[in-house]
Amino acid sequence: MTSSPLFEPAALGNIPLSNRVVMAPLTRNRAGAGFVPGALTAEYYAQRASAGLIISEATQISQQGQGYQDTPGIYTQPQIDGWKKVTTAVHERGGRIVLQLWHVGRISHVDLQPNGDQPVAPSAIRAATKTFVNNAFVDVSEPRALEIDELAGIVNDFRKAASNAIEAGFDGVEVHGANGYLLEQFAKDGANVRTDAYGGSVENRARLMLDVTAAVAEEIGAERTGIRISPVSPANGISCSDPQAQYDYIVNQLDALGIAYIHVVEGATGGPRDVAPFDYGSLRRRFSKTYIANNGFDLELATSHLADGRADLIAFGRPFIANPDLVERLQSGAPLAEMNPATLYGGSAAGYTDYPRFTETSGR
């Protein structure tokens, strides 16, 4: 068995964790009618309950917040009831799970929006990226700029979604402030050219992200609230001219809110860790609670980060897809299975719940 601080117990706010392995959010596009997670979703997460913490796939707070086909929601009672089956299944296996809440902003398509409306964004700037809709990857639609009097409604949608998540049995909530979605679109000047109180300065661009996080923390408790950020990732066509100043400020303010954790994508999401210069240690020093490091970790890098105090928990993403027993495989030194990219998005059990555990493939 491998000795590593990765397999030591930890605490996240008031949530006890059996180890320091976090299952990162992974969009799988398998929600049923009404964007309700079904029985397969409950089985999928329960299979991975040996992770110290599961962060669910990104879940829209409203229909306006949806950007990809067949992603789940948390704004109707059937959706809440569907998620209750997921949280029950995970808890019965001894796991812990939080719900990631998102509004995709401009990373959407008119076919997903209420009444075929335009997607919304801080500014009417179309993202140079694609989305998954009508069973194909297509260019995102041209967005419209949000009016300032619409922003309070979006904050309230996050607040209500957080309350719904607790009703559904989640241990907490993660605000999605990363990867080029709405809150990051406001934070980064490549997508935000507003001249009102939500644009221009570092403080103004951070305002919506901080307003949302404060509302969620107020609703469900700061000890059950976290946020994901990606300071330099170019995901979904996003860019920022001053990421260090922007995120030093954001993390200072997040620390003042007393939330349980920050979940930091170090580098390009799913890509190079050194995509752009950035001092993640600055964020680590500014935040007094739990720091979750994410992006390209293997056992060696995870162990090094934990041993050096650069992180408290380590998030693993795609390895969890083909390895429901990832924690056990890492600890025992068993080889990791490779995922089938053809079954990543959409479909049914194939490539979702049918990946075997190592003991099932080895005959042990």
Catalytic residues: 181
CB half-sphere exposure, 18, CA atoms < 13 A:
15
Distance (Å, rounded) from C-alpha 39 to C-alpha 50? 19
The two beta strands, 15-17 and 10-12, are antiparallel
Looking up tokens 């080895």 gives 362
Secondary structure (H, E, C), 73-107 = ECCCHHHHHHHHHHHHHHHHCCCCEEEEEECCCCC
Cβ atoms of 75 and 61 closer than 8 Å: yes
SS3 270: coil
Distance (Å, rounded) from C-alpha 345 to C-alpha 199? 35
Q: Where are the alpha helices (DSSP H) in 221-298?
A: 243-257, 280-286
Looking up tokens 């998102």 gives 102
The two beta strands, 130-133 and 136-139, are antiparallel
Distance (Å, rounded) from C-alpha 244 to C-alpha 260? 22
Distance (Å, rounded) from C-alpha 131 to C-alpha 136? 8
DSSP H or E segment with residue 326:
helix 326-332
